[in-house]
Amino acid sequence: MLSPTQILLIIVVSVLTAVLAVIGIQVFLILKEGKRSVEKVNKILDNAGKVSEAITKPITSLSGSLGSLSGLGGLFSWLINRRKKTEEEKKDE
C-alpha cells in the first residue's frame, strides 16, 4: 500500500505537471502573438518605405527642374551682363 507521503508526492507532481503544461501553452500563445505583431510592424515599415519613395521621386524631379531653371537664370544674367558691357564699350568709343 502507498504511504501518505507517497500519495502527497504524487499529487504534488501531478499538480506541478499540469501547471507547467498550462504555462507552456501560454508562452506558446504569447510568442505567436509576438510574431503577428512583428509581421504587422514589418508591413507598416514597408508601407512607410513605399510612401517615402513616392514622395522622394517628385521632390527629386522638382529639384532637377529648379536646377535647370537656375542654369537658365545664369545664362540670362550672362547675356544681360554681356549686353551691358557692349553698350558701355559703345559709349566709351
Give per-residue pLDDT as tens, 57-70: 777 777 777 666 67
Cα–Cα distances (Å) from 55 to 41, 59, 68, in that order, read: 21, 7, 20
pLDDT of residue 52: 85
- Of the CA atoms within 13 Å of residue 91, those in its CB half-sphere come to 6
Q: Which is higher by pLDDT, 63 or 48?
A: 48
